[in-house]
Amino acid sequence: MERAGTHGEMTLTGEKRDWTHSLQDMRQQAAIAAKVFIQRDYTNGTVCQFQTKFPSELETRIDKQQFEETVRTLNNLYAEAEKLGGSSYLEGCLACLTAYTIFLCMETHYEKVLKKIAKFIQEQNDKIYAPRGLLLTDPIERGLRVVEVTIFEDRSLGR
């Protein structure tokens, strides 16, 4: 029993250390305070556009101009992706001719722009939003329905 006790103590301590350590890790990362959802703007039909209206929850976190700039850029990127231009037409023709086998090897125009958008969002998060305790989620993960902005708790102010 003693051995067990000792062993238990030792184990406990070890566990405690791990536990404390992981707790510290948890404390390092901010907790999610709230989420804001930027909805789609359907005034121009079903083209993928997001509302540029500045949500009130973000008022204290980020500049309105900055936010609107982000959303506008996103909108422009999506417009570019959905553009019915020469490239999309050519792509369609080529796909037809190859019995759509070309989709197995080639990336469509939309997918290319989506990659660009993902990069853009990542960059915005790193540079602008994360330092402000916000995080943008790529809308493609939500089916292009909403842009999710996660607001993190600002613990430094004791709130």
Partner 1 sequence: MPNSVGKRFKPTKYIPVSTAATLLVGSTTLFFVFTCPWLTKAISPGVPLYNGVVFLFVLANFSMATFMDPGVFPRAEEDEDKDDDFRAPLYKNVEIKGIQVRMKWCATCHFYRPPRCSHCSVCDNCVEDFDHHCPWVNNCIGRRNYRYFFLFLLSLSIHMVGVFSFGLLFVLHHMERLGTLHTTITLVVMCIAGLFFIPVMGLTGFHMVLVARGRTTNEQVTGKFRGGVNPFTQGCCGNIKYVLCAPLVPRYTGVDPRKKPPVSIQPPFIRPDISDRQISIKVSDNGIHTSILRSKSKISLDGLALDDKGLDTQPPLPPKADRYNQLKSQLTSSKDSSLTGKTHPSTPAMYKYRPSFGTIPKVHYNAAGEKIVMPDDHRKASAILEEGRCHVDYRSEPNLDLPDYHNAPLHRTFQSSPLQLDSYLINSRSLSLKQAHQRRDKGQLPTLQPETATSTPYKSVFSPNTLSNRNGSLSYDSLLNPSISPATEAECMAHPGMPSMGFHTPYLPTKMCHVRGPELQSQRQQVPPSFSPMLGSRGIGMSMSRQSPLDRDPSPVRYDNLSKTIMASIQERKEMEEKEKLLLHHAGHSQAQAYNQAQDSGMFDSPTPPAYGGSRDNLMGVVSYGPRTPVLRSSGGSSLVRAPRTSSSSLHTDSSMQGGRASEPSYRSPAHQPHHSPAMPQSPSYTHQKLSFIHALERTDSPRLGGPREAMMQSKVNGQTDCHLGPNSSSAQGNPLSPSRHSNVKKVTGVGGTTYEISV
Give the count of residues interacting with partner 1 (CB under 8 A). 78
Query: What whole-number distance in Å separates Cα of residue 40 and Cα of residue 50?
Result: 4
DSSP 133: T
Kindly state the smallest distance separating residue 55's Cβ from partner 1, in Å: 5
**CB closer to partner 1 out of 14 and 89:** 89
* Residue placing its CB nearer to partner 1 in the complex, 9 or 126: 126
CB 23 within 8 A of CB 57: no
Strand partners, 7: none
Given the complex with partner 1, which of 9 and 153 has the nearer CB atom? 153
Site string for partner 1, 32-61 (x = CB under 8 A): xxxxxxxxxxxxxxx----x-xxxxxxxxx
Least Å distance between CB 140 and partner 1? Answer: 6
Shortest reach from residue 77's CB to partner 1, in Å: 13
Closer to partner 1 by Cβ: residue 13 or 98: 98
The answer to whether 103 contacts partner 1 (rule: CB under 8 A) is yes
Write the DSSP string, 20-45. HHHHHHHHHSPPEEEEEEEEB--TTS
d(CA 58, CA 53): 11
Cβ partners under 8 Å of residue 25, min gap 6 = none
Site for partner 1 in 58-87 (CB under 8 A): 58-65, 81-84
**Which one of the spans 3-11, 15-23, 31-39 is the region binding partner 1 (CB under 8 A)?**
31-39
Site for partner 1 in 126-155 (CB under 8 A): 126, 130-135, 138, 140-146, 148, 151-155
- Reference 114, options 157, 78, 83; nearest CA is 78
Beta bridge partners of 46: none
